[in-house]
Amino acid sequence: MISCFLSKITLGTSSNYGNNIGFSVTSSSSTAGKSPIMATPAGLKEYSVADLKKATKNFRADTLIGEGGFGMVYKGWVDEETLAPSSKWGIGMPVAIKKLKPEGFQGFDEWQSEVNFLGRHYHPNLIELIGYCWEAIRWSSCYNNPLSWDIRLQIAIGAARALAFLHNLEKEVIHRDLKTSNILLDENYNVKLSDFGLAMRGPFDEEAHVTTRVMGTYGYVAPEYSDVFGFGVVLLELLTGLRSFDANRSHGQQNLVDWLKPKLSVKKKLRTIMDVRLEDQYSARAAFQVAKLALKCLEPNPENQPSMKEVVEVLKEIEAMEEETINSKV
């Protein structure tokens, strides 16, 4: 049995440097033996797999917009008023549909946790859940073009704002699986943070993190499930255009953080690791400030990491610095 849920977005994109960025509908499998009885927030629409097939052209390969550790994300369309699958693909409101891989680690509990969380919390930079479903579907893979430097900065700020919001709720929420494939975009490249299957409320003591289960995504997650650390990895990906982990890279270079972290504090070395596809879109000064911020986020000790509120403030200063540099050239 499969459990699916849809969330609201508008047009987005997916990059080929690990930013599986796109739209907002997700699906995941239930654990064997679990009863399909859910206590979901009021107002969510229940869909059938037939609905989702109609919305995605039968989950055709060209509707796939991203792939994360838990599953595949497809682009679909629904009627803006009724939220029913659109009678014609490309007409209505674009949404994203996520389905858990059969071999994935996320079970019914995590899936229900995400549905409940997204159904009860709203923020402009969090994905907006509109519904869910249960049934089996198939998938494939694809990706689109890389993003420009100014859009990457915009994405970083949006994701940081989303995390700052979560961390500053009355009962702090730790996302615990921050990565580029969980950062979705609308048509204006506004961030919609998704995938709350591993989210936990804090504050936590040491025992709260003890678990025998595999959590998070290798290459992003720190031992204490620090969202700030994961954000540092995202910043490093935005700078370099490389995936956080790639088994096809040479020995010693497979883990992006281990390989390139030492270069982030040296200006001359930073230019050698910047994404070549950015060409001269960015100022060296702004890029170095982002690199220094990434380095702070990647501190092994959480006590030495900045808060996400502080990260937002620094990124906004960098964005203003970049705009000032661009204006001075005009």
- Flag whether the pTM goes above 0.75: no
CB half-sphere exposure, 276, CA atoms < 13 A: 1
Residue 186 included in any domain:
yes
Q: Do the beta carbons of residue 243 and residue 220 sit within 8 Å?
A: no
pLDDT in tens, 26-57: 322 222 333 333 444 556 788 887 888 888 88
The pLDDT of residue 153 is 96
Give the end of a domain, one of 84, 102, 133. Answer: 133
Distant-in-sequence, close-in-space partners of 65: CB < 8 Å, separation ≥ 6: 12, 14, 20, 21, 22, 23, 73, 74, 75, 96, 142, 144
The pLDDT of residue 246 is 84
Give the end of a domain, one of 133, 162, 184. Answer: 133
The pLDDT of residue 212 is 39
257 and 193 within one domain: yes
Q: What is the CATH number for 68?
A: 3.30.200.20
188 and 99 within one domain: no
Residue 142 included in any domain:
no
15 and 50 within one domain: yes
pLDDT in tens, the chain (330 residues): 344 555 554 322 233 223 322 222 332 222 233 333 344 455 678 888 788 888 888 888 888 887 765 567 888 899 888 888 887 888 888 888 877 655 444 445 566 667 677 767 778 888 787 887 754 334 333 334 688 999 999 999 999 999 999 999 988 988 888 888 888 888 788 999 987 777 777 655 544 443 434 445 555 555 556 899 999 999 999 999 998 988 878 888 899 999 999 999 999 999 999 998 898 789 999 999 999 999 999 999 999 999 999 999 999 999 999 888 777 765
37 and 74 within one domain: yes
The pLDDT of residue 71 is 67
The pLDDT of residue 165 is 95
Q: How far apart are CA 127 and CA 47, in angstroms?
A: 18
320 and 213 within one domain: yes
120 and 169 within one domain: no
The pLDDT of residue 288 is 96
The total of structural domains in the chain comes to 2
Residue 138 included in any domain:
no
The pLDDT of residue 101 is 59
Omega cis (within 30) before 223: no
The pLDDT of residue 203 is 55
Consult the annotation and say whether 98 binds a ligand.
Answer: yes
DSSP notation for 265-306:
T-HHHHHHHS-GGGTTSS-HHHHHHHHHHHHHHT-SSGGGSP
Residue 105: what are its φ and ψ, rounded to 5°?
A: -90, -15
Residue 190 included in any domain:
yes
223 and 324 within one domain: yes
- 216: tokens are 């998070």
Residue 139 included in any domain:
no
The pLDDT of residue 100 is 62
154 and 124 within one domain: no
299 and 154 within one domain: yes
Residue 22 included in any domain:
yes
Give the end of a domain, one of 98, 133, 168. Answer: 133
Q: How far apart are CA 51 and CA 57, in angstroms?
A: 10
Residue 143 included in any domain:
no
217 and 122 within one domain: no
- Angle, alpha carbons 89-189-231 (nearest 5°): 120
Q: What is the CATH number for 188?
A: 1.10.510.10
The pLDDT of residue 294 is 98
317 and 189 within one domain: yes
158 and 124 within one domain: no
Dihedral sign, Cα of residue 278, residue 284, residue 286, residue 287: positive
Residue 284 included in any domain:
yes
The pLDDT of residue 104 is 46
185 beta partners: 191
Q: Do the beta carbons of residue 283 and residue 325 sit within 8 Å?
A: yes
Which residues are part of the catalytic machinery? 177
The pLDDT of residue 150 is 94
Q: How far apart are CA 163 and CA 65, in angstroms?
A: 23
What is the domain range of residue 233? Answer: 149-329
DSSP 8-class letter at 261: G
